[in-house]
Amino acid sequence: MNFDKPEYREMFWHTASHILAQAVTELFPEAKLAIGPAIAAGFYYDFDVPEPFTPEDLKRIEKQMFKIVNKNLPLEHETWSREKALDFFKQNNQPYKIELIENLDDEQLSIYKQADFIDLCKGPHLPSTGAVKAVKLLSIAGAYWRGDENNQMLQRIYGTAFPDKQSLKAELTRLEEAKKRDHRKLGVELELFSFHDEIGPGLAVWHPKGAVIRNEIENFWRNEHYNSGYDLVYSPHIGKGELWKTSGHLDFYRDSMYPAMEIDEHEYFVKPMNCPFHILIYKSKLRSYRELPIRWAELGTVYRYERSGALHGLLRVRGFTQDDAHIICSPDQMESEIDRVLDFCLEMLKVFGFEDLHIYVSTRPEGKCVGEPERWESAQKALQKVVESKNIPFEIDEGGGAFYGPKIDIKIKDVLQREWQCSTIQFDFNLPERFGMTFIGEDGKEHQPYVIHRALLGAIERFFAVLLENCAGNFPLWLAPEQIRIVPIKDTHIEYGKEILKKLKNRNLRASIDETSRPMGAKIRQSRLEKIPYSVIIGDNEAENSCVAVKLQNGKQFQDIDLSDFITRVCEERDTRSLKSLWLDNTNA
């Protein structure tokens, strides 16, 4: 079997989770079993045990897993009656399995056995435990049963497994690199953002350095949107309950909305989305076909309730800013607008270094959907035709669309080959109907426009986190909070350093001078720790000859560089939004 195939990999890791569960029950007979699925890069299993697992326990469990692997136990599939399964798990005091069975409608249940270990599981699994040659248990975490904080806190053991030791070693190296790049760790070290209990979970505050980067991203976003034929709009953070009832959010999305507040005898809700506000701007006057297409964009901050266990740094938060836009067009403009926005999306991502993309076209789901079948069909065809024309690999996600329209999802890959959901281009047949959106056509009659939601970067917070991890904090010059650190060798060189600083600031470069009494080596190390792209070192030679010595983040150093030439080249690197140092490209070390 081919481990590179997703379906085999999932079966492999699912089998490893059963080996883990067997090992735990052999070492901790009192353990209650919950669930143990395969996940993106391995597996986990949840256990209810009297005392939390320790790192020493993990070592013992891992050793026991290898014993099970070496026994090469067959995994046998059986079908049990509901009554037999309930009786077995009651006798073995497994309440979580009993609850799972009681919530199933099936009278015949799938069971997997390996030696004396028996588990409720749909499978599939490998034929035997012997194929799982290399295993590593990675961590322990708390997890509420069924993700509900009102339920019992369980112990979750994460692990990964591979068919050979070399593959496992490569994966562990990748995971170590991922730890170094963890945006939560880098965010603290580089003083970019933080979370505080006093504010509440999932609500970030941005420090000055993080705000500089965010501001650069947002200014770039605004300029590109103006240049691409969009108008920017703003909307309030709250709206009356009647608005959210009309939009359908109170019917379909209320569990993710924050509780209502009462103002002037009306219920108001903090907005989870920007869409209804943009629709009301459209409806503020009668619209003609001559005005279409309309493209309105907003960096709108929204608030959505996420369970505390799902929160994860900036990747999953409760308050975030979406680079939202709505395109309102006539049916004959639909395909060209999709083509235009997809090109725009790909160009935006390219600027930040994301060109390894995976695209999905999601089609009409089963069940009740909003919108006429003909509109769904034409929208789906337009999405697929445009993606095909770009010669980019894509997949059809049959039935993966929302109930209100088909969509394109774009996932980006970072340097560690992890995929991140980023951009979405989504048709909406719901809001035009609910709000009675129309335009007057050439025939003088009312027609319903197409509405296309789109987010290019997605949530700014999430995009920032992915970008931070992708570059490991070494932002390209145009984004770096501090671009240049001037390092005088002695106090006598500070005056020349101040002259340089003034010239840099006159060119709108973000720079500072280290006037501390620390040795030069310590100053340069500090600059590198703060991941400042350029350290400009000045001594007697530089002061006398109006030149500088330049040290890059990667350790490369250049001597006797004319100050004017240095500033010109750095400005070029900034203004072209180069992802790498033009200085290194154009100067011999």
Active site residue 571: no
Active site residue 322: yes
Whether residues 254 and 221 fall in one domain: no
Whether the per-residue pLDDT at 273 is higher than 80: the answer is yes
pLDDT band, very low/low/confident/very high, at 589 (cuts 50, 70, 90): very low
DSSP calls for 173-198: HHHHHHHHH-HHHHHHHTT-EEE-TT
CATH label of the domain that carries residue 22: 3.30.980.10
Q: What does pTM read for this prediction? A: 0.85
Whether residues 34 and 79 fall in one domain: yes
Instruction: List pLDDT tens digits, range 159-188.
Output: 999 999 999 999 899 888 888 999 999 999
When pLDDT is averaged across residues 366-380 and rounded to a whole number, the result is 84
CATH label of the domain that carries residue 352: 3.30.930.10
Whether the per-residue pLDDT at 391 is higher than 90: the answer is no
Whether residues 437 and 386 fall in one domain: yes
Residue 343 included in any domain: yes
d(CA 180, CA 174): 10
Q: Which of 14, 453, 523, 551 is catalytic?
A: 453
Residue environment code for 527-541, b if the CB has 16+ CB neighbours within 10 A, otherwise e = bbebbbbbbbbbbee
Residue 533 included in any domain: yes
Residue 230 included in any domain: yes
Residue 458 included in any domain: yes
Q: What are the angstrom distances between the C-alpha of 107 and each of 28, 84, 104, 171?
A: 31, 10, 8, 41
Q: Which of 46, 57, 323, 324 is catalytic?
A: 324
Q: Which of 22, 155, 322, 380 is catalytic?
A: 322
Whether residues 68 and 113 fall in one domain: yes
Q: Which of 407, 454, 462, 569 is catalytic?
A: 407
Whether residues 302 and 312 fall in one domain: yes
Active site residue 207: no
Domain of residue 340 covers 193-235+274-471
Closest CA to 362 of 398, 387, 389: 398
Whether residues 112 and 20 fall in one domain: yes
Whether residues 161 and 15 fall in one domain: yes
d(CA 431, CA 450): 10
End-to-end CA distance of the chain: 49
Residues 6 or more apart in contact with residue 146 via CB below 8 angstroms: none
Among 272, 296, 328, give the residue marking a domain's end.
Answer: 272
Instruction: List pLDDT tens digits, range 307-362.
Output: 877 888 999 999 999 999 999 999 999 999 999 999 999 999 999 999 888 899 98
Among 152, 181, 210, give the residue marking a domain's end.
Answer: 181
| Kind of pairing between the strands at 134-144 and 153-162 | antiparallel
Whether the per-residue pLDDT at 1 is higher than 80: the answer is no
The number of helix segments (H) and strand segments (E) in the chain equals 19, 28
Residue 1 included in any domain: no
Active site residue 184: no
pLDDT band, very low/low/confident/very high, at 585 (cuts 50, 70, 90): low
Mean pLDDT (the chain) is: 92
Active site residue 48: no
Whether residues 436 and 287 fall in one domain: yes
Active site residue 94: no
Q: Which of 14, 121, 275, 551 is catalytic?
A: 275
Among 445, 471, 497, give the residue marking a domain's end.
Answer: 471
DSSP-based three-state secondary structure for 272:
coil
CATH label of the domain that carries residue 521: 3.40.50.800
Active site residue 345: no
d(CA 533, CA 29): 56
Residue 186 included in any domain: no
Whether residues 310 and 253 fall in one domain: no
Whether the per-residue pLDDT at 422 is higher than 60: the answer is yes
* Cis preceding-peptide flag for 124 (omega within 30 of 0): yes
Q: Which of 183, 304, 485, 574 is catalytic?
A: 304
Q: Which of 97, 278, 295, 326 is catalytic?
A: 326
Whether residues 229 and 253 fall in one domain: no
Token code pair at residue 386: 């445009």
Whether residues 40 and 169 fall in one domain: yes
Instruction: List pLDDT tens digits, range 505-540.
Output: 999 999 999 999 999 999 999 999 999 999 999 999
Whether residues 442 and 309 fall in one domain: yes
Nearest 5°: the CA angle 284, 288, 293 is: 90
Looking at the structure of the chain, the number of domains it has is 4
